[in-house]
Amino acid sequence: MLTFILMFSTLCGSRVVSGILHTPTNVRLTSHNMNLVLRWDPPEQPASGLLYTTEYSDRLSKSKVGCVNISTLGCDLTRLNTSIFEFGKYKGKVRAQLGTESSPWMESNEVTLDKDTVIGSPNVSLSSSGATIEVSIKDPVFAVSALRNVYSLATYNITYWKDGQKEKARSISGLQQNRVVLELDPWTKYCTQVQINTKSPNPNPSEPSEAVCESTTIDEEAPWVAAVVTFVVMAIAVALVAVTVVYRKRISHFLCPKDALPQPFTEHPNSSMYLAMRNSHPPEEIYDPVSVITDSRTLEEECPLETANSLSPHRG
């Protein structure tokens, strides 16, 4: 009979120990930005088709149901219930299920949210203006409450350095304002990193932000310089307008000259020749009619005297 029992236990393998499933392993309760997440690993030599059910509790209340019949290895408890308190202490537990069989509950560690949560990195942006860089900081978003409600004395630590020279970084600590202006060298690239310090009895610094870089430019000119330049430009413009109005005729003649007369007329505009030409009219054309006669007889009849004279011998 004892041999039969041992053979039956061997055949069942890891599914059943004393008639029940193995429990999940490495059960842990974690918190990041005030959330509450229960995580675990599968049982040793797990059977296929396992499902998991979770519960959680604080010191003042009974266990509450978390995720039910899930196949994943984690459960975000803050998404299921809004009764989680930012200063509460919590534990979680999980069991494996296969059909109608269930493993024993396996409990997690205890988490005190405001002390044990991992504060995420702040969001940092830079804005350059001349030889200064303005650092703007945004707190990480919490799943429960807000950073300033939980850590009212939280401050910022700003570390900045010239690009490529982090070993010479400078730091400013204890800042409460989320906008800070850094006076820096012109025409230089700087990188900045920010970390939150909670300053609570149990300090809980945040994760540092990613390094963000920005370049400065030349020092900005004083406001009076711009005012003087504007005044000079306006004065020159007014003077040009006044000169244009006063000497508009000369400027017009210079830019658009009329046709000039020849020099003799410009030197003696009252000469008789100039006046005669100015007052003269086009001359009349005088002509006589001309006839061309080709018949020689007709020529003799019309001019007998001339013909006879031409035919008679000369006298001595």
- Domains, the chain, in order of start with CATH, read 2-116 (2.60.40.10), 123-215 (2.60.40.10)
pLDDT of residue 299: 45
123-129: strand order across its sheet:
123-129, 132-138, 179-183
CB atoms < 10 A from the CB of 240, how many? 10
pLDDT of residue 107: 96
Give the DSSP letter of residue 86. T
- Average pLDDT value for the chain: 80
What is the pLDDT averaged over residues 222-233?
71
pLDDT digits over 173-194, tens only?
A: 999 999 999 999 999 999 999 9
Contact (CB, 8 A) for 248 and 240: no
What is the pLDDT averaged over residues 71-76?
95
pLDDT of residue 98: 92
Q: How far apart are CA 296 and CA 307, in angstroms?
A: 11
**pTM higher than 0.85 for the full model?**
no
Which residues touch 173 (CB under 8 Å, ≥6 apart)?
A: 155, 157, 158, 197
Q: How far apart are CA 252 and CA 247, in angstroms?
A: 8
pLDDT of residue 240: 85
Q: How far apart are CA 224 and CA 232, in angstroms?
A: 12
What is the pLDDT averaged over residues 155-167?
96
- Token reading at 61: 């209340």
Residue 214 vs residue 254, higher pLDDT: 214
pLDDT of residue 246: 77
Q: Is the pLDDT confidence value at 267 over 80?
A: no
The residue among 162, 136, 157, 158 whose CA lies nearest residue 215 is 162
pLDDT of residue 300: 47
Contact (CB, 8 A) for 173 and 194: no
Grade residue 9 by pLDDT with cuts at 50, 70 and 90.
very low
Which residues touch 105 (CB under 8 Å, ≥6 apart)?
A: 23, 55, 93, 94, 95
Contact (CB, 8 A) for 103 and 21: yes
pLDDT of residue 83: 81
**Quick one: angle between helices 248-255 and 223-246, nearest 10?**
80
What is the pLDDT averaged over residues 265-279?
58
